[in-house]
Amino acid sequence: MKILRRLSVPLFLLAVGAVFLYAYLAKPFESDGTFCVFNATAGIHCPTCGATRAVYSMLSGDFKSAFYYHALLTVGCVPAFIVGVLALINFTAGKKIIPLPKFRWAYFYAAVGVVAAFTAIRNFLPQIY
C-alpha cells in the first residue's frame, strides 16, 4: 500500500497526460468521418460525442469552441480535476487532510440525470460534427 501511495501522484499525472496526448494526436478536425460508433449506427449523439474535439480545443486554448463541441465536459473539467487532486492528496497522505463530501446515491442519480438531460437537449440542437 505504501508503494501505491508513492506512485499515486505520478500515475495520476500520467493518466491525465495520456488523455490529453491522445486528444492532441488524434487530430479530430482533420477527419471527415465520425469517431462514434453509436452516432454512425443510430444517427444520434451519445453523451461523449464531441469530447475529443472539446479536449483538443481546450489544449489549444480555444475554450469557446470547446464549450460548443461539448459544454458539459468543458464546464465539468474544472470541478472534476479539483476534486480529483484533493482526493489524491488525501490518499497520498494516508489520512483525511482535506474534507471531501461523502458519496451519496443522490449525487450519482443527479449526475446521471444531468448527463441524460444534456444528451437529450443536444440531440435537438444543430451541430457541426
The predicted-structure confidence for 24-79, as pLDDT tens digits, reads as follows 777 777 665 556 777 778 888 888 888 888 888 888 889 999 998 888 989 988 88
Residue type, 99: P
Q: Which residues of 40-63 are buried (b: 16+ CB within 10 A; e: fewer)?
A: eeeeebebbbbbbbbbbbbeeeee
Give the three cell numbers for residue 24: 492532441
CB-side neighbour CA atoms (13 Å) of 2: 0
Provide the whole-model pTM. Answer: 0.66
φ, ψ of residue 127 in degrees (nearest 5): -125, 160
